[in-house]
């Protein structure tokens, strides 16, 4: 009987120490997690914002691509405005109020396909 009491008392002390040891560990985890949660959430927020600042719809990569498209559109606009000015100049020469005889002759020959016998015709595409 004495051995049984000793074993029962030993088991009781073991379970009691295990319980309080577990409680100490849990309370220590709870205490330390309170200090860690704030910085971890802050770091996650910074990573989230940084990712979308670079990769988002209005991020840096989209800005660079849009800048390239704007530069290309400006080049096309410049080229087309030069072509428009050249065409507008030729049209103004055909205006009835300020008719240029050379321009009229050139357009008539081109449209009707006429040329003089001593002229050389060079076809361009």
Residue 96 confidence (pLDDT): 75
Residue 81 confidence (pLDDT): 97
Note if the pTM is more than 0.85: no
pLDDT under 50: residue ranges of the chain? none
Cα-only R_g, the chain: 45
Residue 67 confidence (pLDDT): 95
Residues whose CB is less than 8 angstroms from the CB of residue 63 and which lie 6 or more positions away in sequence, other chains included? none
b/e code 94-120 from CB counts within 10 Å (16+ = b): eeeeeeeeeeeeeeeeeeeeeeeeeee
Residue 38 confidence (pLDDT): 84
Residue 6 confidence (pLDDT): 60
Residue 85 confidence (pLDDT): 95
Residue 122 confidence (pLDDT): 77
Residue 114 confidence (pLDDT): 79
Alpha-carbon dihedral sign for residues 107, 108, 114, 117: negative
CA distances, 78 to each of 51, 83, 84, 91 (Å): 37, 9, 10, 20
């Amino acid at each position: 009987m004495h051995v049984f009491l000793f074993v029962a008392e030993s088991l009781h002390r073991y379970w009691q120490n295990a319980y309080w040891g577990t409680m100490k560990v849990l309370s220590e985890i709870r205490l330390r997690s309170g200090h860690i949660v704030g910085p971890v959430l802050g770091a996650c927020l910074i990573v989230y914002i940084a990712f979308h600042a670079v990769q988002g719809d209005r991020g840096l990569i989209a800005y660079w691509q849009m800048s390239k498209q704007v530069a290309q559109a400006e080049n096309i606009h410049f080229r087309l405005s030069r072509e428009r000015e050249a065409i507008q100049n030729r049209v103004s020469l055909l205006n009835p109020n300020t008719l240029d005889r050379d321009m009229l002759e050139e357009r008539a020959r081109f449209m009707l396909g006429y040329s003089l016998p001593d002229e050389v015709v060079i076809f361009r595409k």
